Chain A
Amino acid sequence: MAHAYVPEIAVDREGNEHVVQGWQDDFYGGKLGFWLFMLTEVMMFGGMFLALAYYNTLHPQDFLDASASLNRLLGGTNTVILLISALTMGLGLLKMRAGDVKGSKLMIWATILLAVLFLVIKGFEWTAEYNHGIFLMHGEMLPESTMAFGKKLFFGMYFTMTGLHGFHIIIGIGLMIWLLKRINAGKVSPEHYILHFNIALYWDIVHLIWVFVFPYYYMIGAATGGTSGH
């Protein structure tokens, strides 16, 4: 296992020794790999933001109106929740590196709780929108409804992107539970915390995406005097 790994030595012509980097114990390799993975997430959500921005230029007024009807109070609360959860996640990592395993686990539990809270609030929001006749394959979103094209596109993208973001939150919760199991099994420790580090990175990208999703969906219509909530 990783603990027993002894790196090989290469010798140059002058007889100097050089450590050979192996894949078995490569903290920076693991970090680099996860940063690259986050780049793919950025490209993926970037593609959707591109489509969103394109339709925004085609239907500017519809977008503002549709945005004004979203619930900014719940959306804003969720933003705060996610930002706090990013803080707890980061604190958990710091505690792990400082050797405080117990405190670290507590912070991970706090992050999980906040993530669940986020999903619950998201669920209330979606339910309210469903009751107002706005949901995928339902009410105003059906082909025969007369709602403006721009609004349909806005809400179509809204459910797709927040849905995909919510899916990332669920995966994140799964990852954190797995992380707790690994910590309990002693596989993640103050000496070997690459998994913890990468899951913290993952949680960063999840909240970072939300930081862009929130203003683009909830805030652009705020200035038009739409009501906060329904």
Chain B
Amino acid sequence: MSKTYFDETHCAIGHPKSTFMQWMLTIDHKRIGIMYAAVMFTFFFVAVATAFLMRLELFAPGQQYIDGDTFNQAFTLHGVIMIFLFIVPGIPAIFGNIVMPLMIGAKDVSFPRLNWFTFWLYILGCIIAVSSLWVGNGFADTGWTFYAPYSLNTGTNVIFTLVAAFILGMASILTGLNFLVTIHRLRAPGMTFFKMPLFVWGIYATAWIQLLATPVVGITLVLAIMEKYFGIGIFDPAKGGDPVLFEHLFWIYSHPAVYLMILPAFGIMSEIIPVFSRREIFGYRTIALSSASIAGIGYLVWGHHLYTSGMADIAKTVFSFLTFFVAIPTGIKFYDWIATMYKGKIVLSTPMLWALGTIITFAIGGLTGVTIAMIGVDIHLQDTYYTVAHFHYAMLGGVVFLLFAGMHYWFPLVTGKMYDEEKAKIAFYLNFIGFNLLWFPMFIAGYLGMPRRYFDYLPEFQIYHQISFFGAIIFIVGLVYMFYVLIQGWRKGEKVGVNPWRATTLEWHLPSSPPPLENHSKVPYVDFDPYEYFHGEPVVKFDANMRRID
């Protein structure tokens, strides 16, 4: 029996004997990825519970369970956890860590000790963010965007959240930096940029955004802290400052951050579709380059968050126009995925189901985004449930669904075992139905004028909130069931070999399952494309020394 990465590890400091300390000090990218996943999904469920509390309150008009101030704190907590603790670091920290080095044939990331440090920086950020629930005047009530001047005047613990977001941002920068260097330096010999798997392209584009955009929000948060505690005047109109400047600086980061979330998710999609269609991906280069161009264009569109904040008409027009441009590379990806499936031998395994479901939900999320990119329409729909439904379709129905797809896809790689496919499919259908039932009515409610972030509403909106509520229940049951199935799979699942999906990329050509500590026994020479199938069969085959034998 060969040893796996669960049996041995390298540590940042010394060689501790206890298993617990080995996990705490590990610099193995696979273990770090698993720890990220454990922490993130814990927070994910906290935020889901907070959201459910809000749904419960909104079941009927008027106040039932929580008052308005608590409601404000609830949606801030939900937003801060979901954005800063879960979805922004999510896919890069989990699958970027676990899978990306395997995909390019590396033994680890370029700076494994930095990776370990980054993980603990992330934990520190989480602790600071959450600790403000129990100290002082309670959690921030500003919304996750901390808009000035309210965030400067509120008595709640905004400082904790600002500092936490800054630290989490630093962790994000360091992760991006690490991955950029890894992808540039540690690719297996022969693997040019256009021979990399598309998930690596997604991580690469994301890493650039993490590196270039996050410092801007970091300094914005520092300036907000300086304003709040030292009164430098920068965002406070009472001292000559301009609160709209805060919004600009904030969205210069936070809009690219949206693409930072979705690009690695698209990468997961581009891995799953060819494998389960048993076909080479259609338009490899267009998908790779569209990731890069989304990352580039994503910098130039932040102004569409400020249509109603006070901005010159010419600026609005330009931002609106540029925003439409993002739809082009995204559309290219969608056509490529669908064209890949055309005449493929489609296998409807659970990861493929999640990917197909996402094509539907993200298409809705993306196209509703194009409608609110129009200035006139946005004046009507800004800060309504339409916008809320739009970004939940894009973020939850896009990013998180694909995170789940990746979780089902790489589950046998990480654990060496397989979950119960039938049950996992049931979980998918529960999630998919619950999700649509939860969010679709909000498009209608928002179009009719239901504003977001209100804890009360007019009686005519009740029907939409009630449908949403029942959708939420189905969705939560589906989520819990999905994790139950996966955990059962890890504990009692059947052992599977190294390549249960008959995939072609390098992470499925490891010497053992789960992988050994230093990944590939021998690094292959990569003179082939990542998704080579011929008549539904993988083309490239290796012998035990990772020499090609096909």
Contacts and interface: CB of A to CB of B under 8 A. Distances in A.
A160 to B, nearest CB: 5
Contacts of A11: 525, 545, 547
Nearest to B191: A10
Contact of B181 (A32, A40, A47, A153): A32
Most chain B beta carbons < 10 A, residue from A47, A48, A148: A47
B389 interface: no
Query: Interface size for chain B: under 10, 10 to 19, 20 to 34, or 35 or more residues?
Result: 35 or more
Nearest to B213: A43
Interface string A31-55: 0110011011101111110110011
Contact of B240 (A29, A142, A152): A152
A54 B522 contact: no
A186 interface: no
A32 B185 contact: yes
- The 6 A-B residue pairs with the shortest CB-CB distance, nearest first, are A149-B240, A156-B232, A18-B189, A12-B525, A43-B215, A44-B215
Given A39-B211, A136-B230, A33 B525 contact: no
B240 A59 contact: yes
Interface in B165-223: 173, 177-178, 180-182, 184-186, 188-190, 211-216, 218-220, 222-223
A22 B189 CA distance: 11
Contacts of A36: 177, 180-181, 211
A13 B105 CA distance: 17
A214 interface: no
Nearest to B111: A33
Given A23-B106, A36-B180, A143-B239, A18 B525 contact: yes
B297 interface: no
B167 to A, nearest CB: 14
Interface of B: 105-112, 173, 177-178, 180-182, 184-186, 188-190, 211-216, 218-220, 222-223, 226, 230-234, 238-242, 245, 249, 252, 522-525, 527, 545-548
Nearest to B525: A12
12 contacts: A10-B523, A12-B189, A12-B525, A21-B185, A29-B185, A33-B110, A37-B177, A40-B211, A47-B252, A137-B230, A142-B231, A149-B239
A157 B218 contact: no
A4 interface: no
A47 B233 CA distance: 16
A11 B522 CA distance: 10
A29 B232 contact: no
A20 interface: yes
Given A12-B527, A54-B245, A59-B240, A23 B108 contact: yes
Given A23-B106, A160-B232, 18 more contacts: A10-B188, A13-B527, A19-B189, A23-B108, A32-B184, A33-B110, A33-B181, A36-B211, A37-B177, A40-B215, A43-B215, A47-B249, A48-B219, A51-B234, A149-B240, A153-B234, A156-B231, A157-B232
Contacts of A150: 240
Contact of A44 (B106, B219, B233, B523): B219
Contact of A41 (B182, B215, B234, B547): B215
A20 B105 CA distance: 9
Given A11-B525, A32-B184, A43 B223 contact: no
Interface in A92-148: 136-137, 141-143, 148
A33 B112 CA distance: 13
A51 B244 CA distance: 11
B6 to A, nearest CB: 22
Interface of A is mostly: helix
A41 B173 CA distance: 11
Contacts, number: 150
Contacts of A157: 232, 234
B188 A20 contact: yes
Interface string A51-89: 100110011000000000000000000000000000000
Nearest to A142: B231
B62 to A, nearest CB: 40
Contacts of A58: 242
Contact of B233 (A28, A48, A156, A164): A156
Nearest to B236: A143
Nearest to A12: B525
B177 A141 contact: no
A26 interface: yes
Given A43-B212, A43-B215, A51-B223, A29 B547 contact: no
A185 to B, nearest CB: 16
A219 B50 CA distance: 53
Contacts of B241: 153
A46 B252 CA distance: 12
A75 B60 CA distance: 64
B110 A29 contact: yes
B181 A10 contact: no
Nearest to B170: A40
A136 B233 CA distance: 10
Nearest to A16: B525
B443 to A, nearest CB: 35
Given A10-B188, A11-B525, A51 B249 contact: yes
A29 B181 contact: yes
A161 to B, nearest CB: 10
Interface string A158-193: 011000100000000000000000000000000000
A149 B245 CA distance: 16
A152 B105 CA distance: 55
Contact of B245 (A12, A33, A51): A51
A29 B107 CA distance: 15
A150 B242 CA distance: 12
Nearest to B546: A10
A153 B212 contact: no
A44 B108 contact: no
* Most chain A beta-carbon contacts within 10 A, residue among B105, B214, B223: B223
A47 B525 contact: no
B234 A156 contact: yes
B231 A22 contact: no
A62 B213 CA distance: 31
B232 A136 contact: yes
Q: Which of B214, B239, B249, B548 gathers most chain A CB within 10 Å?
A: B239
